[in-house]
Structure 1
């Protein structure tokens, strides 16, 4: 009898040992899979776009009204959005910029996309009697961190003219950020050439390379047909205008002061420079006057 008791005890100990062994093996086998799963999730989170499309109220083209005589509107010119006391007039305090965008929002101004701006000029139709086109030159990183944020807040559109050779520079936004802004529907990206050189001082071949290579890169990277050329430093001549048209651009903007009008040369459109120091009220006076 004692032998049977001892035998059952030995069998029980063996069974408990086997159960413990297989439990430990199972734990070690599943742990790597848990770690791998975490890595996959982390990778997915990094590649998911940060911004969903922003719902900006847009009027379908078929509902636009005909304009009697030449149509005109201000193309506002911005560059960098940052606080500065160095006297550089190309830098606007982000707080001032937000006041300006709030004024446009409060006064129900329609902000044009590049496509809409071209339609206004070429079709002589308008989505609103109060409209502006916001443009930002160069492609500074703060256009992404500040302008994009503020435009999303007030549901306004803007256009950034990018210098393609600046890709990878710390002060300029990246391809991923560029694509994020485009996907949002808030900002579209257009050409500011490859190297931002004075085009009127270059040979015909150099001008072609600057314009064609910039457009090609933007077209392929953003899966678009780039419409707009922004002349570096506003420098252009008749040769530059002709080559811009041949390169496939629909129109071009300058730094010449004034309103853009449908009866002027589409390759020398004027703009309104926004200088530092304009608060909510002062900005409104610039737009309405």
Structure 2
């Protein structure tokens, strides 16, 4: 996807670290990430455009909106991700005018006044870095709960290792964070009231210019300025004091950590208070104003300095909740949710069964298509410059790859594994350089499940042999998928019977093709929770139904909707079904 990260800041903040860290990981995953902000200090893999969001006069704000519209159109931006109130206001209007999906990550407590209640300006989805933010914007700003989600800061956890406790003659306390705003107030009070500056070596690591109120401490405190090597500073420290990302990184290094932010003091992080710490972003988010009793912190800091490391279970909990890969995977899902729901567009997954050459081969159930009409379908896809994907492709590149800018995709699926798939379909796939997914039954030699219907029997049609399935699989044009042994209605079977049907079919097909199967199709589209659980347990990455499941295919990978193609689906009918909005129109 083409993503625009929008920030407003004049110095390095947690929001910038979050945006660039997540953005760089998104770039690594194949997305094109652009940045727009007043300043941008952290390393970023993507173009940066300077825009002075902090200039908030009415004329300036209109200029911001027009410039954002220019960027959106020029760079084919598919989604805007804002990270501040100032930037989100302008982005919200620009996205409204261009129908561009928008996500906002809220990093701190939001101002509450009449205009912010009426005009949230947060776009289609709000990511809250902790539960306290989510609670505030829902209860005080009236943002709908279903438009919010908690998505924590992402950290490259593997970059941090548990450090050996330093052997300092004089214990080192490192205070890391901004010296402006409420965080500056916290640092001042800590130095003035809570830390024995003669007893300990105190380091202040901040990119903020040191103002006059800190002058009295300059002979006792080391003001180091901004550092790109915070991990070394943490490793040298007997105690790290900070909030937000600082606390997380310190805990990943196993160091004793005292969490205090611009809202509250959590104190030394332990297994008993880690959940409270995470829910407040380690003291940064809470009730309005600074709610800290500094008179009691001195003894708490002294106690924390007696520790040599934080509890190992605390470090593991940070890894579990803040791992960058997991966070970016969550963000990619949010992007897909927002894009699909806003645009009401989804990759069409069309479903064929068998193909015929003349009238005599027609069936009773309408699960056939004349091969000449199939070629007309393929010609339409080619004319519209639509490319074909398989589920194996999505397994390799992720479901978000189907939203690649400037591309139109379709997934062609063919159920049951009829012999005509080998004789008629494969030559057309080769001719048009298309790919398809063929779901094969392996326990039958013909369509017994249709033929032996007492009330409406179908004519007998042969299925492919193992040799023919192998040729399809080796051709490079066909992904073979599972479709059970005998094509039963799975919801009528016991768990054990379903497991046998799905497992033995998968085993046989993998033996035939020599490849692991990526996807499975429920016979008749019928399934229950056992069917989904078994497909997942057996290692399938995807399972397709027919007309059931969420409208976004990524929202349930084991109940993916498909669009049926019938004998009367002509070229116009296919065009209607592959426009991308078909499942949304049908679901009305």
TM-score, normalising length: structure 2: 0.36
Runs (5+) with no aligned partner, structure 2: 1-27, 34-77, 80-334, 341-345, 448-460, 582-588
Measure, in 1, the Cα distance between the counterparts of 2:492 and 2:465: 29
User: Among residues 406, 412, 432, which one is paired with 1:154 in the alignment?
Assistant: 432
Question: What per-residue deviation string (whole Å, max 9, x for no partner) do you get for residues 22-79 of structure 1?
Answer: xxxxxxxxxxxxxxxxxxxxxxxxxxxxxxxxxxxxxxx9767687422531110000
- 8 Å CA contact 1:103, 1:280 repeated in 2: yes
Q: Secondary structure of the residue that 2:380 maps to in structure 1? A: helix
1:212 corresponding residue in structure 2: 503
Q: Describe the SS at the equivalent of 2:374.
A: helix
What secondary structure does 1:164 align onto? Answer: coil
Alpha-carbon distance in 1 for matches of 2:502, 2:421: 23
Kept in 1: contact 2:434–2:477 (CA 8 A): yes
Residue 106 of structure 1: which of 383, 387, 398 is its match? 383
**1:202 corresponding residue in structure 2:** 493
Find the residue that maps to 1:269 and give its secondary structure: coil
Gaps of 5+ in 1: 1-60
1:115 equivalenced with 2:392 (yes/no): yes
Name the structure 2 match of 1:88.
Answer: 365
Counterparts of 1:167 and 1:87, CA distance in 2: 19
1:241 corresponds to which residue?
Answer: 532
- Partner of 1:148, secondary structure, is helix
- Could you tell me which residue of structure 1 aligns to residue 574 of structure 2? 283
The answer to whether the Cα contact below 8 Å between 1:253 and 1:270 also exists between their aligned partners in 2 is yes
Q: Assess, with a 3 A threshold, how the Cα gap between structure 1 residues 222 and 87 changes in structure 2: closer, same or farther.
A: closer
Q: Is the 8 A contact 1:155 1:186 kept in 2?
A: yes
Report how many residues are paired: 229
| Post-superposition CA distance 1:115-172 (Å, at most 9, x none) | 1134565455545631010000000111111111111111100010000113589711
Write the distance in 2 (CA, Å) between the matches of 1:166 and 1:136.
17
Q: Deviations over 1:161-214 (max 9, x none)?
A: 000113589711122221212221011111001111111111111111111111
Q: Specify which structure has the bigger relative contact order, considering alpha-carbon pairs within 8 angstroms and separated by 6 or more residues.
A: 1
For residues 176 and 231 of structure 1, what CA distance do their matches in structure 2 show? Answer: 24
1:167–1:175 contact (8 Å) kept in structure 2: no
State the Cα distance separating 1:281 from its structure 2 match.
Answer: 3.3
> SS in structure 1 opposite 2:568?
coil
Deviation at 1:224, TM superposition (A): 0.8
Q: How far 1:221 moved relative to its partner? A: 1.6
2:349–2:412 contact (8 Å) kept in structure 1: yes
| Counterpart position of 1:73 | 347
CA gap 1:76/1:156 in 2 versus in 1, 3 angstroms: same
Q: 1:251 to 1:236 in 2, by over 3 A?
A: same
Contact 1:96–1:277 (Cα < 8 Å) also in 2: no
Q: Does 1:185 align with 2:469?
A: no
* Mapped contact 1:74–1:258 kept (Cα < 8 A): no
Determine the structure 2 residue equivalent to 1:137. 415
CA apart distance, 1:276 = 1.6
The SS at the match of 1:255 is coil
Asked if structure 2 preserves the Cα contact closer than 8 Å seen for 1:74 and 1:260, the reply is: no
Per the alignment, residue 467 of structure 2 pairs with 176
Cα RMSD for the two superposed structures: 2.6
More helix by share: 1
Query: Runs of at least 4 residues of structure 1 off by over 6 A?
Result: 64-67
Task: Render the CA deviation track for 1:225-267: whole Å, top value 9, x for unaligned.
Answer: 1111100111111111111111111110001168862442111
Equivalent-residue separation in structure 2 for 1:175 and 1:285 (angstroms):
36
Selected match of 1:229 from 509, 520, 523: 520
TM-score, length basis structure 1 = 0.71
Q: Are the equivalent residues in 2 in contact too, given 1:135–1:159 (CA < 8 A)?
A: yes
CA deviation string 1:93-123 (max 9, x = no partner): 1111110011111211110022113456545
